[in-house]
Structure 1
Amino acid sequence: MRTRIAASALIGAALALSSSLWSLGAANAAGSSTFETDGVALSLVAAPSGTGDAVRAALFIDLEPGWKTYWIDPGEAGIPPQIGLSPETKNLELESIAFPAPTRFEEAGFQSNGYKAPLAVALSLRKTKPDSGSNLALSVMLGICHDICVPVSAELSLDPAGETDKAAVDTAFADLPRRDSAAEAITEASIRADGSKLSLKVAASAAGDSSDLFVTAPGGWYFGPPEDTARTGGEVVFTLPVLDKPKEGLSSLLNVDAILVTGEDAIEARDLAVVREPK
């Protein structure tokens, strides 16, 4: 059975090769909305906040040709991104982080999920005090790979009321998968009693012969690419192997997020309840 290489092992190996570069990058990025190092440039952009309490922003990850980075579930090998608010943030709460649909690629015989071209991560925030000023400070850790893998750490910040770029942020949100809010495309998720396989049912009208399914769950669950796809009546069942899971086992798997990719189209289901299959 294929298993996942622990992210901690990958980070440790990369740090052994590039610790000085990583530390320098983190220090240089503090207090700025941009950061650049070999392989990638990062920029934090906000849209005008208007009169309400909602704030939209985006983290642009501009990969140089030949470099790649990883999705939330990086696959059999890869470093998952870590993005969150740092303590310097003022009067803002993070409501959601959304990534564009990933692709699959092979690295040294392992299947990974991620990106081989520039991308933007969409950030939805809310002011805790709508009439007060705010500061957005973001902590970012990404794994980027070319001939070797390098962890990139950066601290980015900006004033959302200052310089803004609505068009850029709108583009970041427009590039996200369509939301399957009514569960009309991705309809059901179930886990085998032994925790080895996850199955998702997709409406046949939404899945083509070349469709792929990416799944992520919190708490240390990782899934491989679909091993089997069965079309029965009006549904297509995708079966994915479980590459890694937490020691708490099945009791910790309550919901999954899934992205169905068909050509250039992508649709996402969030917080899909997972049913445990009978033995």
Structure 2
Amino acid sequence: MAKGLSTPYIADMIDRRLFTTGLAAGLMAPGAALAGPAASAWSQDLKSSARLIGAGTTGEGTLLRHLLGLEIRLDEGTKTYWRTPGDSGVPPQFDWSGSTNLADVAVSWPAPVRFADGDGFSIGYKRDVVLPLLVRPQDPAQPVDLRLKLAYAVCDRMCIPAKAEARLKSRPGMASDPDLVRLRSGFAARVPQAGAPGLSLAIDSIDRSGRHPAVLFTAKVGQATGPVDLFVEGPEETWSLPLPSVLDAAGETRRFRLELDGVPRGIDPMGRDLTCTLVTAAAALEARLRLA
């Protein structure tokens, strides 16, 4: 890492660049804050609020899916957590059990940022966020009555448990609110993709000389400028891996080092797959890499 360039600085730079692009335009779209037929009422907590938004449907027959989103708004200076929270915090927990005509909900996660959190670093969102939802109905010809009970956490200097409840009916062929469509689409564009153009990630080597094996990752980021970050998840929730160290602050090639601390006792990590999320200011890559 370049002298004087701290990890919190990297997180802040990525955060500013992420939200000074077209994504921010979606957040400020006129009318986006208004509840209506395509949005549930806001569910307010101490330092945040949440609601469900609708953005129409895609496909037909058994391939029909409802395009919805979970919008979380944060008070100034607060953060909320990604699906893997990092050194502290808790990920959002979803309860859809009150819904009707619901077969499945797939939750997508826009690219997160790293931020200082107590004595360590966590992963999540420092600004308002929409988690895109892809909803599969049991009966494609009938509306989905989506009911959510959400448990999440918001932090500033300390973590605050938060709860929200939201209900939204989505019908096949229902007219979409253009502002909500743009809002959801902006965040969907930030979801890491397996084939993100111009980005690649590989395991360069594994050092087994220490107490825990240490993995060296090499990322090719092309003409990407500014900070780049990497988040790594184990194959199961019982793995609790630390955040990788950022070794390079500039250039077309960036390196990261991850010590495999947090692997469950008695488990040999070799031969297991890691889910890796590489985040630049303009794009994000998700790759599954095997330890070998």
Root-mean-square deviation (CA, aligned residues, Å) is: 3.2
CA distance in 1: counterparts of 2:93 and 2:43, whole angstroms: 16
CA distance in 1: counterparts of 2:136 and 2:151, whole angstroms: 23
Residues 92 and 215 of structure 1, relative CA distance in 2, 3 Å threshold: same
Partner of 2:245: 227
Asked if the contact 2:58–2:67 (Cα under 8 Å) also holds between the matched residues in 1, the reply is no
1:130 counterpart SS class: coil
Counting only pairs closer than 5 Å after superposition, residues 92-171 of structure 1 correspond to structure 2 as: 92-94=102-104, 96-161=106-171, 165-171=177-183
TM superposition shift of 1:78: 1.7
Counting only pairs closer than 5 Å after superposition, residues 68-107 of structure 1 correspond to structure 2 as: 68-83=79-94, 85-94=95-104, 96-107=106-117
2:183 counterpart SS class: helix
Asked if the contact 2:278–2:284 (Cα under 8 Å) also holds between the matched residues in 1, the reply is yes
Residues 196 and 165 of structure 1, relative CA distance in 2, 3 Å threshold: farther
Asked if the contact 1:60–1:118 (Cα under 8 Å) also holds between the matched residues in 2, the reply is yes
TM superposition shift of 1:182: 6.9
Cα displacement string for residues 31-85 of structure 1 (whole angstroms, at most 9, x for unaligned residues): x6531011001011112226621111111110011221112222212222223x5
Matched, 1:200 2:217: yes
If the length of structure 2 is used for normalisation, what is the TM-score? 0.69
Structure 2 unpaired stretches of 5+: 1-39
Cα displacement string for residues 16-45 of structure 1 (whole angstroms, at most 9, x for unaligned residues): xxxxxxxxxxxxxxxx65310110010111
Partner of 1:273: 289
CA distance in 2: counterparts of 1:252 and 1:94, whole angstroms: 31
Residues 66 and 253 of structure 1, relative CA distance in 2, 3 Å threshold: same
If the length of structure 1 is used for normalisation, what is the TM-score? 0.72
Cα displacement string for residues 95-121 of structure 1 (whole angstroms, at most 9, x for unaligned residues): 531222222221333112222221111
Amino acid aligned to 2:289: A
2:184 counterpart SS class: helix
Partner of 2:29: none
2:291 counterpart SS class: strand
Q: 1:211 is matched with which residue: 228, 241, 249?
A: 228
Partner of 1:188: 202
Asked if the contact 1:73–1:215 (Cα under 8 Å) also holds between the matched residues in 2, the reply is no
More strand by share: 1
Partner of 1:39: 47
CA distance in 1: counterparts of 2:265 and 2:165, whole angstroms: 32
Residues 68 and 265 of structure 1, relative CA distance in 2, 3 Å threshold: same
Asked if the contact 2:244–2:257 (Cα under 8 Å) also holds between the matched residues in 1, the reply is yes
Residues 113 and 228 of structure 1, relative CA distance in 2, 3 Å threshold: closer
Amino acid aligned to 2:283: A
Q: Size of the alignment, in residue pairs?
A: 240
TM superposition shift of 1:122: 0.9
TM superposition shift of 1:157: 1.9
Partner of 1:13: none
Cα displacement string for residues 226-267 of structure 1 (whole angstroms, at most 9, x for unaligned residues): 325379x98543222345233463279424141322xx3231
Residues 259 and 106 of structure 1, relative CA distance in 2, 3 Å threshold: same
